[in-house]
Amino acid sequence: MTNPTTDFSHLDIGACSHVGRREHNEDRYLIDRELGLVIVADGVGGHHSGEVASAITCEVIRREVASGADLRTAIERANTGVLEGVASGRGKAGMASTVVAARLAPSGYELAWVGDSRIYLWDGKLRLLSRDHSFVEEQIASGLITREEARNHPRRNVILRAVGTASGNLEAGTGRGQLAPGTCLLLCSDGITDPLDSPQLCALLSQRTGAEETCQRLVDAAYQAGGKDNITALLVVNTGRAGEQYDRGATAQAVWVFDPDTAQYEM
């Protein structure tokens, strides 16, 4: 996807990250308004230099997008970049990172992700646009557990894909869609989604003012709810100017929708 213009003045973009109850913060985020690129990466491994893996992930994706690559290709090259970092002594063996990334056009977006960091669309309902590459997500898809059971499953933090773990091409999830005036994209690490359920996210997003302040509220709420992990939220808000039309012919994605009125998930 190429941007016909770099005028993103109609987008309010903000982010907030907190160490949580860890010793150091392995989450990284990136906002590049010129490229229309936003990223949240959650380093995996703790003592294996997860913060190095997440930093390399952001750096390589930014470089590759600037060179004309799409997000899927950029993530594949980030996977190679993390492996090369280990080989060259930058970081340690076993380091890896989840990632969620969005490339923005004046009224739309291209998405890609690996792992269990998430991307949501908020338009009065909360729509989960990404699909976790995780053990419990596979169990849900197979009908073995419910989404509610997954929240407290003992293996809920086991991820099946991460940047820096694949010896070949790393298969990223992808999507695209419209960002209508008044709606927003939320990119976040599992430090947000583990302690906060969908009704809480809906309540916080419906109260938003500026993107930065909303992210601060999300992070504060996750910490106060007992979140132990690093906590990162990044918000992109279309403040109202429609901008140019964006690829209306793109293939539609099925999404989970949490309806706060019925307190139910719908497909």
Best mean pLDDT range from 80-84, 106-110, 152-156: 80-84
- Does the pLDDT at position 141 exceed 80? no
With 0-12 / 13-18 / 19 or more C-beta atoms within 10 angstroms meaning exposed / middle / buried, residue 193 is buried
pLDDT for position 2: 46
Confidence band for 9, pLDDT divided at 50, 70 and 90:
confident
* Tokens linked to 105: 């056009």
Q: How many residues does the chain have?
A: 267
Q: What is the pLDDT of residue 32?
A: 97
Please state, for a pLDDT cut of 70, what percent of the chain lies above it: 84
Q: What is the DSSP letter of 116?
A: S
Question: Whole-model pTM?
Answer: 0.86
With a cut of 60, say whether residue 178 has pLDDT above it.
yes
- DSSP β-bridge partners for residue 42: 27, 98
CA–CA separation, 74 vs 1, rounded Å?
A: 12
pLDDT band at 4 (very low <50, low <70, confident <90, very high): very low
Average model confidence (pLDDT) across the chain:
85
Task: Indicate the pairing of strand 264-266 with strand 256-259.
Answer: antiparallel
Across 28-42, 76-90, 122-136, least confident range? 122-136
Collapsing DSSP to helix, strand or coil, 219 comes out as helix
The helix (H) or strand (E) run that includes residue 198 is helix 198-206
Per-residue pLDDT averaged across 196-209, rounded?
89
Q: What is the pLDDT of residue 266?
A: 46
Residue 64 has pLDDT above 80, yes or no: yes
Q: How far apart are CA 159 and CA 153, in angstroms?
A: 13
Is the pLDDT reported for residue 261 higher than 90?
no
Poorest-pLDDT segment among 187-201, 220-234, 244-258? 244-258
Dist. CA 202–CA 260, nearest whole Å: 7
Count CA atoms within 13 Å of residue 121 on its CB side. Answer: 24
Q: How confident is the model at residue 242 (pLDDT cuts 50, 70, 90)?
A: very low
Say how far apart CA 53 and CA 18 lie, in whole Å. 18
Q: Which 8-state DSSP code applies to residue 163?
A: B
pLDDT surpassing 80 at residue 262: no
Q: Crossing angle, helix 198-206 and helix 211-224, to 10 degrees?
A: 150
Lowest mean pLDDT among 53-67, 85-99, 145-159, 237-251: 237-251
SS3 14: strand
* Domains of the chain, CATH where assigned: 11-266 (3.60.40.10)
Provide mean pLDDT across the span 61-73.
97
User: How many CB atoms neighbour CB 207 within 10 A?
Assistant: 10
Report the C-alpha gap between 29 and 216 in whole angstroms.
14
What pLDDT is recorded for position 159?
83
